[in-house]
């Protein structure tokens, strides 16, 4: 409790506080400027009346405490001096020696005999200790005692400003402690004398309502955790703008493929092309060869291949461009170091862009969950097993596969998962085994197989949260309240 509160609650019970000083001492509060400030401000508000009184107060010195406990200096010294004599050197270093010696000589208790001190009287009664005890116990000091005590610095006199406190005219009208500072209080100055409420540092506080995670973010976190749990490494996905080379050509996607039309892909005007800094010329030449005349046992697409087409900048249409960059780098590094290609599992979750007609379930941008495993002695069975495992972890154990076509995988499979809420299978992704035309061209050794897949993030999120239109959680029509309040559907992933 603050000084103010203590004073007020005491004045509720007792008519007055005799001594503010004594009150502070009893309540273990410092009798300092802030305590006196509390009295003054209560008085100024008419809540209490304070009557000032100067009091002199005696405080006992450490010296006196010592005398009370152990006897006066002369008494203690006298007890050490023998009748036959005690060498002065034996007692000279004692802390009470100086005063003890002076007083004992004055009282003729001892005398000096050569190097010794000799006791002159047989007994000595410690009258100093006795009178100090009595005076501190309440007996008025005689004039003589006052002089002695002063000389021996037993007592200290202090004049302090004390107060008698009683209820003031506004005591019962006093306001509840104020908790909020208002503009009005600042203007009229009442903040200075307000009865401020104390801080309660043990209060729990208000739980903040804002700052919930976006549904896409929550599902993304789930996917990410599953990948990490299964031992996958995350790939760097910080390039929304990609070259056609990495997005298509490196994946053995022919330059005449319809996906490379402006109807499907966003091409950039500025810069419309990219320099080939991250396109190693040898690798580019090998890509050209595999596309046009074929390589590694393949007859190729047998169509034109122009580097200018590969240099066109686009918004990446899939994160398979990220897998492609990663694999090409791993292969090149292994070759440069002369080390065997190390098996690896990688994933990424990030945005891709497609020039699509926007409707309830399609946006021109969405998120892809991409992954691949590069290892020896793996193939379709491992791809099926891994995807099943993945969707089981997501709460959708019923997975089906359908043969499909991708220019860069053979075989390829579309993935369907049973959605209990809808009571039917829905397409959740695409997958396959990367073709040798892609991998061997990069320098991935022949005995390494890469199984890969891409899932959408939006579909599973919409299923999980029972969202009908993708536009209600993404884009300019986002419903912020829905994002803030939505709970995961009970039947969801």
Nearer to ligand PHE, 74 or 458 (CB): 458
Give, in degrees to the nearest 5, the angle at Cα 471 between 468 and 473: 85
- The nearest distance, CB 182 to ligand PHE, in angstroms, is 60
- CA-to-CA distance for 291 and 168, rounded, in angstroms? 100
Exactly one of 247, 430, 461, 464 binds ligand PHE (CB under 6 A); which one? Answer: 430
Check residue 431 for interaction with ligand PHE (CB under 6 A): yes
Pair of tokens at residue 404: 């499909």
- The nearest distance, CB 227 to ligand PHE, in angstroms, is 15
Show contacts with ligand PHE in window 194-223 (CB under 6 A). Answer: none
Task: Kindly state the number of chain residues that form the binding site for ligand PHE, as judged by CB under 6 A.
Answer: 10
Exactly one of 454, 457, 463, 474 binds ligand PHE (CB under 6 A); which one? Answer: 454
Check residue 453 for interaction with ligand PHE (CB under 6 A): yes
Check residue 436 for interaction with ligand PHE (CB under 6 A): no
Check residue 449 for interaction with ligand PHE (CB under 6 A): no
- Give the count of beta carbons closer than 10 Å to the beta carbon of residue 144: 9
DSSP tag of 264: T
Instruction: Write the CB contacts of 222 (distance below 8 Å, at least 6 apart in sequence).
Output: 394, 493
Check residue 283 for interaction with ligand PHE (CB under 6 A): no
- CA-to-CA distance for 239 and 325, rounded, in angstroms? 11
Name which of 363, 394, 368 is nearest 469 in CA terms: 363
- The nearest distance, CB 491 to ligand PHE, in angstroms, is 26
Exactly one of 320, 324, 348, 464 binds ligand PHE (CB under 6 A); which one? Answer: 320
Residue whose tokens read 């596309």:
291
- The nearest distance, CB 352 to ligand PHE, in angstroms, is 7
Nearer to ligand PHE, 227 or 453 (CB): 453
Check residue 406 for interaction with ligand PHE (CB under 6 A): yes
Question: Parallel, antiparallel, or unpaired for β 344-353 and 233-234?
Answer: parallel
Nearer to ligand PHE, 250 or 431 (CB): 431
- CA-to-CA distance for 84 and 57, rounded, in angstroms? 46
Pair of tokens at residue 431: 């997958």
Nearer to ligand PHE, 131 or 324 (CB): 324
- The nearest distance, CB 292 to ligand PHE, in angstroms, is 23
Give, in degrees to the nearest 5, the angle at Cα 381 between 375 and 386: 70
DSSP tag of 273: B
- CA-to-CA distance for 272 and 312, rounded, in angstroms? 6
Check residue 460 for interaction with ligand PHE (CB under 6 A): no
Check residue 253 for interaction with ligand PHE (CB under 6 A): no
Check residue 444 for interaction with ligand PHE (CB under 6 A): no
- The nearest distance, CB 251 to ligand PHE, in angstroms, is 8
Region of 118-126, 290-298, 378-386, 424-432 interacting with ligand PHE (CB under 6 A): 424-432
Region of 48-56, 200-208, 308-316, 430-438 interacting with ligand PHE (CB under 6 A): 430-438
Nearer to ligand PHE, 321 or 473 (CB): 321
- CA-to-CA distance for 18 and 35, rounded, in angstroms? 16
Region of 119-127, 282-290, 357-365, 451-459 interacting with ligand PHE (CB under 6 A): 451-459
Write out the DSSP string of 303-339. S---HHHHTBEEE-S-THHHHHHHHHHHHHHHHHHT-
- The nearest distance, CB 199 to ligand PHE, in angstroms, is 57
Check residue 265 for interaction with ligand PHE (CB under 6 A): no
CB 271 within 8 A of CB 280: no
CB 398 within 8 A of CB 420: no
Region of 59-67, 72-80, 183-191, 449-457 interacting with ligand PHE (CB under 6 A): 449-457
Check residue 452 for interaction with ligand PHE (CB under 6 A): yes
- CA-to-CA distance for 219 and 488, rounded, in angstroms? 10
CB 363 within 8 A of CB 470: yes
CB 183 within 8 A of CB 189: no
Q: What is the 3-class SS of 81-140, one letter each residue?
A: CCCCCEEHHHHCCCCCHHHHHHHHHHCCCEEEECCEEEECCCCCCCHHHHHHHHHHHCCC
Residue nearest to ligand PHE (CB): 454
Nearer to ligand PHE, 149 or 353 (CB): 353
Check residue 409 for interaction with ligand PHE (CB under 6 A): yes
Check residue 432 for interaction with ligand PHE (CB under 6 A): yes
Show contacts with ligand PHE in window 290-319 (CB under 6 A). Answer: 318
Residue whose tokens read 């499979």:
413
| % helix, strand, coil for the chain, step of 5 | 40, 25, 40
- The nearest distance, CB 337 to ligand PHE, in angstroms, is 27
- The nearest distance, CB 266 to ligand PHE, in angstroms, is 15
CB 385 within 8 A of CB 359: no
- The nearest distance, CB 361 to ligand PHE, in angstroms, is 15
- The nearest distance, CB 405 to ligand PHE, in angstroms, is 10
Nearer to ligand PHE, 195 or 361 (CB): 361
Radius of gyration of the chain (CA): 47
Check residue 247 for interaction with ligand PHE (CB under 6 A): no
Positions in the binding site for ligand PHE (CB under 6 A): 318, 320, 406, 409, 430-432, 452-454
């Amino acid at each position: 409790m603050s000084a103010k509160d203590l004073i007020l609650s005491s004045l509720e019970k007792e008519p007055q506080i005799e001594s503010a000083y004594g009150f502070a001492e009893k309540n273990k509060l410092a009798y300092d400027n802030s305590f006196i400030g509390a009295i003054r401000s209560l008085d100024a508000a008419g809540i209490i009346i304070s009557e000032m009184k100067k009091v002199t107060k005696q405080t006992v010195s450490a010296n006196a405490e010592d005398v009370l406990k152990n006897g006066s200096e002369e008494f203690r010294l006298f007890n050490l001096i023998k009748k036959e004599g005690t060498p002065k050197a034996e007692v000279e270093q004692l802390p009470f020696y100086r005063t003890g010696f002076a007083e004992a000589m004055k009282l003729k208790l001892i005398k000096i005999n050569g190097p010794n001190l000799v006791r002159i009287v047989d007994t000595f009664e410690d009258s100093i200790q006795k009178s100090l005890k009595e005076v501190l116990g309440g007996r008025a000091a005689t004039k003589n005692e006052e002089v002695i005590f002063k000389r021996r610095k037993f007592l200290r006199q202090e004049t302090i400003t004390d107060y008698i406190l009683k209820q003031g005219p506004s005591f019962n009208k006093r306001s509840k402690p104020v908790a909020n500072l208002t503009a009005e209080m600042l203007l009229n100055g009442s903040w200075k004398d307000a009865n401020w409420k104390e801080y309660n540092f043990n209060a729990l506080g208000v739980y903040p309502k804002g700052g919930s995670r976006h549904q896409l973010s929550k599902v993304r976190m789930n996917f990410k955790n599953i990948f990490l749990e299964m031992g996958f490494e995350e790939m760097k996905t910080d390039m929304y703008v990609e070259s056609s080379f990495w997005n298509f050509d490196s994946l053995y996607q022919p330059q005449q493929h319809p996906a490379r039309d402006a109807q499907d892909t966003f091409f950039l005007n500025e810069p419309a092309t990219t320099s080939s800094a991250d396109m190693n010329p040898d690798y580019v030449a090998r890509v050209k060869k595999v596309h046009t005349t074929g390589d590694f046992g393949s007859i190729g697409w047998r169509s034109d291949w122009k580097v200018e087409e590969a240099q066109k900048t686009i918004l990446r249409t899939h994160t398979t461009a990220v897998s492609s960059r990663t694999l090409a780098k791993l292969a090149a590094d292994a070759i440069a170091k002369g080390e065997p290609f190390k098996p690896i599992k990688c994933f990424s979750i990030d945005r891709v862009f497609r020039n699509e007609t926007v409707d309830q379930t399609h946006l021109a941008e969405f998120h892809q969950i991409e992954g691949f495993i590069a290892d020896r002695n793996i193939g379709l069975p491992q791809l099926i097993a891994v995807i099943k495992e993945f969707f089981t972890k997501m709460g959708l154990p019923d997975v089906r596969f359908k043969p499909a076509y991708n220019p860069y995988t053979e075989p390829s499979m579309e993935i369907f998962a049973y959605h209990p809420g809808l009571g039917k299978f829905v397409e959740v992704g695409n997958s396959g085994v990367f073709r040798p035309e892609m991998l061997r061209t990069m320098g991935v050794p022949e005995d390494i197989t890469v199984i890969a897949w891409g899932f959408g993030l939006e579909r599973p999120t919409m299923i999980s949260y029972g969202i009908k239109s993708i536009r209600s959680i993404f884009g300019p029509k986002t419903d912020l309240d829905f994002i803030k309040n939505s709970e995961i559907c009970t039947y969801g992933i």
